[in-house]
Amino acid sequence: MDLLRHLEYFVAVAEERHFGRAAATLGVTQPPVSRAIKALEKHLGLTLVERTPDGATITEHGAALLPRARLIVEDSRLLTSAAHSLTTSGTIRIGLIPQLDDSIAARVAAAVGASARVETATAVSLLDRLRAHELDVAVIDHPMVLDRLAAGPVIALPRRVCVPVAHRSARAARPRLTMLSDLAFATTPRIANPPAHDLMLDVFRRHALDPDVHVAATFRDLNTAVASGRSFGLVPTAGPALPGTAHLDLAAEDVALRVRIVRRDGEVGSLTHMIDRILLQASR
């Protein structure tokens, strides 16, 4: 039995309260998640998760074991990262969230050169790795709790609303966000950065839009969901509209991607300044 993998699946289901969403977050299909939970329950002799019409609920036993499961999963990830960092001494380690345009990542890597290792991960993961001294600097989405870390000013990167090419909003002379009420919002999972996720949903509600959420961990996932006709998403303005999709300029200031450069206090000032210049140029 792969206890660590089963615990990872259990934590994902507990976070998402839904087997399908947990599977999407993990990058697998739903059946392996269901089998892993059943195997874990058999191994422990306890019922951890109960299915409901709306998804899944955690039992009393599951809730009691969840904090320990989270620690085991996280400690395993930190052990792997620490071991990897031992083989890359002298390397400048930069973390970027997946919502950033690929061109920004490429410019950062080109500016730092061969000594750079640019990695992509969620804001929560990047902050954990900064605190563990496994990264030198990171760019995360705002807002986020930054306990014991220093952060630069918030920079707003412009985004467009990506919609299905046949959707009524793509054909409208004066499209509005409220026209997207029949579409789900394709975005990164909430656990990637809960404050930023909730803030964006609040933005939509202020525009009289309260969409369901479709988990899309990458831009490929987002564009696929949009092209299928079931979702809309937010994409960098520099990116082209892919087949089956259209880009709209809607509520530009509200939907901008707000990011900050985060580091351990007093460290890598020149690297921070270099990334700051790249982000400022992309914001114009």
Predicted TM-score (pTM) above 0.85 = no
Residue type, 215: V
**Residues 84/153, Cβ–Cβ less than 8 Å:** no
Judge if 148 and 265 occupy the same domain: yes
Containing domain of residue 27, as a range? 3-84
Q: What is the pLDDT of residue 215?
A: 93
Q: What is the pLDDT of residue 23?
A: 87
With a cut of 60, say whether residue 88 has pLDDT above it. no
Judge if 76 and 96 occupy the same domain: no
Judge if 219 and 233 occupy the same domain: yes
Q: Which of 268, 278, 269 is nearest to 93 (CA)?
A: 268
What CA–CA distance (Å, rounded) separates 36 from 23? 11
Render pLDDT for 220-245 as a digit per residue (tens, 0 to 9). Answer: 999 999 999 999 999 999 889 999 99
User: Percent of the chain, pLDDT > 70?
Assistant: 93
Q: Say which CATH number the domain at 60 has.
A: 1.10.10.10
Q: What is the DSSP letter of 118?
A: E
Render pLDDT for 250-269 as a digit per residue (tens, 0 to 9). Answer: 999 999 999 999 997 655 56
> Residues 9-24: what's their mean pLDDT?
90
Its sign, for the CA torsion 30, 31, 36, 38, is positive
Judge if 23 and 96 occupy the same domain: no
Q: Which of 165, 192, 180, 172 is nearest to 257 (CA)?
A: 192
Q: What is the pLDDT of residue 77?
A: 72
Judge if 79 and 103 occupy the same domain: no
With a cut of 90, say whether residue 28 has pLDDT above it. no
> Residues 43-71: what's their mean pLDDT?
91
Judge if 127 and 200 occupy the same domain: no
Its sign, for the CA torsion 159, 164, 170, 175, is negative
Number of independent structural domains in the chain: 3
Judge if 80 and 215 occupy the same domain: no
Q: Say which CATH number the domain at 93 has.
A: 3.40.190.10
Angle of helix 60-86 relative to helix 123-131, nearest 10 degrees, comes to: 60
Judge if 74 and 212 occupy the same domain: no
Cα 254 to chain centroid distance, Å, stands at 19
> Residues 96-121: what's their mean pLDDT?
89
